[in-house]
Structure formats: structure tokens, C-alpha cells
Amino acid sequence: MTFRTKLALSFTLLFAAIFCITGIVVYYFSERYTKNEFHERLHDRAHIAAQLYLDEDELSPKMMQRVREQYTKSLPEEQVHIYDSTRQPAFKLGEIDLVGLDDNFDRLDEKGFIEFTTNKRQWVGWKFDDNQGQFYVLVSAEDLYGQSKLVNLGRVLLISFLGSLALVIMGGRVFTRQVVQPINDIVWEVNKIRASNLHLRLKEQGRRDEIGNLVHTFNKMLNRLEMSFEMQKNFISNASHELRNPITAISGEIEVTLSKKRSPEEYIQSLESMQRETERLKKLTSDLLGLAQTGFDGDTMPEEQLRIDEVLMECLSDVRFAYPEQAINLDLQQMPSEAGALEISGNKSLLQIAVTNILENAIKFSNGDEVTIYLAANEQGAKLIVKDKGIGIPEQEQPHIFQTFYRATNARSHQGSGIGLSLTEKIMKLHDGSIEVASAEGSGTQVTLYFPGKV
């Protein structure tokens, strides 16, 4: 059974139950009202009968005439029974004999008034005191008109129920089609997405309901999948090429050095060249491993509560040790008064890689000029700004700076692998943060890392 059929069936059954209960309640109270209203009329008839047959000597001729006129307006199948104090018939109008008279007389003696029903005939009884003694007045009739109204009401309710049920079934099909249509649209769009076109996304129409939340969540999943696929594709296609260069250089240097005997100075020079290539290979391998690590799912990535200023200080200490001659200015004037504003949630090792990459890039391309670091934070999160006065990035090449292994034309004379910014961007995305780069060729570069606040 499809979801649409289940929804339509549930909607129909719910309406049927509500309408059925409503119909039963309406019929029940209508029947109660009809019965009580007829009992009231029987009360009046019993009172009139008592006046007509027992109070004739006490009423004026004019009043007696009014009583007779009222009495002539009898109820359907009306029966009147009057008994004296000895429980003997004093007056009887009708041919129906009442069974269990003694029980009714006992109840009248106890309560003075009774109501009961026998064979669809409603009865009322009064214990009436007169100057001639005590009398028992029993009046009955059949509420043919009321029963007819109840039958008609039941028929109307049944027809209304069946007609409304048919309308609900048709309306339910239209309603469920409208409800399920967005889901069908999502299924249709999802079926178009393949590994070759992971850039496609479901259309988000600004809906703030469960469907909109589903579309947004699915698009976020596609973002993670696309990033993972791109990482794997880039890693496979480019890693071998990038790793081959330093290995080839080391192998060639060894081959040239061993081709003949050389002086100690030449051996030292060759070893220094191999050391540089080894350091390059080490850095490239570390970056590639970090790039592969960012392929982890954000839900399984180990996280902890960190202070961004402590992460920065650790990274800054390592960078200063590696570049002791570099002038670095740390500006903490925008630091918050409460230390809690500096706390973020994330993976410490990955965040250290991201911050270190930005610091090393600023130093590498600053040409020895001072590098300035700003750190600010508030309730929404923290912001780290690294600014240099170096070579900058050509404007036409800035849209490509986050591509793995991409290097700007004016940066190719500097040592590097082209992984740093791409790796940092992926790490920031894993932490629901972001990175912004503002640069002008020949004037320097400013990189801003945004970290969300502690969850």
C-alpha cells in the first residue's frame, strides 16, 4: 500500500469516525429531548384529566369549559385510567389494560409521580388528592409524530454520512495528491542525481515545513558527498603526480652523485639538495594525509570543547620556531571580557592544521614583511584574521584558490604544494565555519576564519 493510499484511507476513516460519533450524539440527544417533551405533554394531559373528572364540582362553568376544550385536543392513541384509593377503576378511557397495576400504585404511594414505557407507549402517573379522597391518574399515549421525526432524522443522518463519506473520499484523493506531490517531485529530482552530476541540488523554495527541512537536509548531504567525491578524485589524480616530483628529484640526485667519485663538498651539497626534497616530500605527505582526513563524516569526527586563543597560541609557537626571523604582530584588543566566548567545539588536530596553513602562507608570501594577526570573539563565535603585505593574488585567479593543488602564477616561485587553502576550507566546512580571502596583487592578502560558537 502506497503512502498516498494510507494517508487517504486514514483521512477517510478519521472523518467517518468523527461523523459517526457526531451522528450518534445528535440522534441520542434528539431522542432524549423528544421523549422528555412528550412526557411533559403527558403530564399536562394527566392534570387536565384529573380536573375534568375529579374537580368538576370545584371549578366554575367557565373554567370547566376551558378544561373540556383542552381535553378535546387529545394525543395519538391516548388512554386515561383513574383509580380510587381502594385501587378500583373510577374512570377509564381506552381499551388497553395496564399490567402490574399494584406495582405502579406502590410506586405512586412512594413517590407521588412515575414515568415508564411499555410497548412504545409512554405512561405518566400522578397521585391526585381531591375533596372526594385520593385518586391515581394514569395517562398514556404513543408519540407517533416524535417517532416519525426520529426516523426521519436517522434517515437524514445516514444519507448525510454516506454522501459526506463519498465527498471525503474524492476530496481525500485530491488532498493527498497535493500533500504527496512535493515528495514525488523530490523523488523525481533525486533520481536524476548520479555520481557524475553530484553538483545538482534539489530546489529549495523557502518552505519552512517538514518538506523544506527534508530538502535542505538532503542538499547538505549532497554537499558532503560531493566534497568527498571531489577529494577522492583529486587525491587519486593529483597525489601521484605531486608525490612523483620530489621522489624523482631525490632519485636523480642520488643517481648523479653515485655516477662518479666526488669531493666531500659535493657530497654535502648533494645531501643538502636531497634534504630539501625530503622536507618537501614530508610536507606534501602531511598535507595529503590531512586532506584525506577531512573526508571524515562530521558526525563521526571526534570533537571536544576548545578555546580558539589556545589553539592559535600553539600554532603560533610552532610557526615562530620554524621561522624565527619573521616579524609577527599579535593584536588581541578585540578579545572578549568573558573567556566562555572563546570556546568552540571541534577537532583540535584539524583546527591546528587549518590555522597553521594560513599562518605559514602569510609568512611564505610576505617577502619578510610583518604579518599581523587579529583575534575577536562574541556570543555568535570567533573570528581570526591573518593579514600580510606580500605578493597578493591576481584578481582573475582568486576564484580558483580553493581548488586542490592550484597555485597562482606569481606564487610558483615559492615552495608549496597548492593544498593549504583547499585543506583549510574543507576543515572549516567540517566545523560549520567558513573562510574568506581578500587580496590584491602586490598589496598583500587578508584571510579570515570564522568559527561558530560552542553548541
Half-sphere exposure of 114 (CA within 13 A, CB side): 20
pLDDT at 288: 62
pLDDT at 372: 92
pLDDT at 67: 45
pTM for this predicted structure: 0.45
pLDDT at 64: 43
Which residues of the chain have a pLDDT value below 70? 1, 51-74, 91-99, 131, 206-207, 230-245, 280, 283-284, 286-302, 404-406, 410, 412-418, 454-455
Longest alpha-carbon distance in the chain: 159
**Residues 361-393: b if buried by 16+ CB within 10 A, e if exposed:** bbbbbbeeeebbbbbbbeeebbbbbbbbbbbbb
pLDDT at 446: 92
CA angle 328, 347, 282 (to 5 degrees): 65
Q: Cell numbers 583546527 correspond to what residue?
A: 351
* Separation of alpha carbons 69 and 61, rounded Å: 12
* Separation of alpha carbons 56 and 358, rounded Å: 118
pLDDT at 265: 85
* Separation of alpha carbons 357 and 323, rounded Å: 14
The bridge status of strand 89-93 relative to strand 381-387 is: unpaired
pLDDT at 68: 46
Q: Cell numbers 606580500 correspond to what residue?
A: 390
pLDDT at 105: 80
DSSP 404: T
